[in-house]
Structure 1
């Protein structure tokens, strides 16, 4: 009894301080760095009033900027969903020379300043650039179009899909795929019925984060878009323009709208993840 009681009193050594201190530091960081700016933005938007807010958001220029932003973000996310999944699959399932280099290159959009990325893309897709010189004679113009905006968004947000799917693929137990092979399933059937349901929650997270990141992209887009009002002007740039015009209400309304869209996407993603995990748990 004494030995058991003494063993129960023995606690493993902690590398970090106790729960109270660590939780307090964490919540302080979240409150000061994350929540406080968001609350300030919400309060600033609430000062506008519903009528003024509706008038700002239904202005033709604002609607055009939102339409372009959402359309280009959807195009970029669709590309990232396919390309990111394929890239994660290649990095996990195959060994080849230069694999480590390719894996490291996936993080360049995170490390590279977005303004530098925008300048590089503009130089490539300009009429005298390496890509533009080949595309424009065929009647394909990327720079100063929605395609350029979508390409810039895809460039900066592609790591979200790769880095969320990759670790799940690495941890996936191969015995389920081996069992499917012994039952005579085709490779695509194995991917569709075994692999993809297992990685679906992580895939949804990556796609949602990619879309949210594309909505807020600024630096990489402003150089390649041309920023033509009613044509290639994104919502985040319009918010900056309203600030430069000292129209704080207009800037706050646009920023608050983008914030609400991003929050709705994140909540929907979490709900879909929870549903997928529950379905997976029932099927296990």
Structure 2
């Protein structure tokens, strides 16, 4: 990588880090005080089910899986700050409507397809009308102040690894394997509510640290040195990143072979994913 390219990548990464600390932040909304705590039905399990439904939809349409990270970031930020959050947390249908609408916005803004609102109505078995999704879209965009392009862990990992590659040389196949593994871990992070309050840059760093076993000892040490040189005061502390690394590693690799980790999709979407390829894709 040329010095000019490295400078550009570093500036882009810095811009994303600054955005994740300011306008793209979510809080622990499931633990915030509620005027009606007994009425809340949305919890970590319900959220994970909706994430899995989103991935099923994206896979059926052969879209980029990172769209789900963008959609769920909008859901989480909306529930962290919106005056309408409590209604969504106390009504499963409203929470599903919020998620479907966020996925619609994410698909549309990423330019993956020209799927219209009527299609998103159909995949929810017409539980929601066009008017309801349009109204939720306006509410979502207004509450998020039209900030709908959040930096994701995968985006940041691409930038970080680009900077690492300027200092550490390894085969292209190894670089691809590292990126594939990072994307795999990032998808687990999207599913786990714990990571709602974690910065994407920390998730990216944690995932990269978890891939070092793919390298020989010499290259792994060189990558660690390069990562540490990249981590300035704009990043979380090394302690936080290592805690995130441990949590992510346990989440991804600690559940292998554990059937209890599988969560069935929500009832309204049970046939949608199977029908999508025949109807649209």
TM-score norm. by structure 1 comes to 0.28
Q: Which of structures 1 and 2 has the bigger CA Rg?
A: 1
TM-score norm. by structure 2 comes to 0.29
Name whichever structure is richer in helix by fraction.
Answer: 1
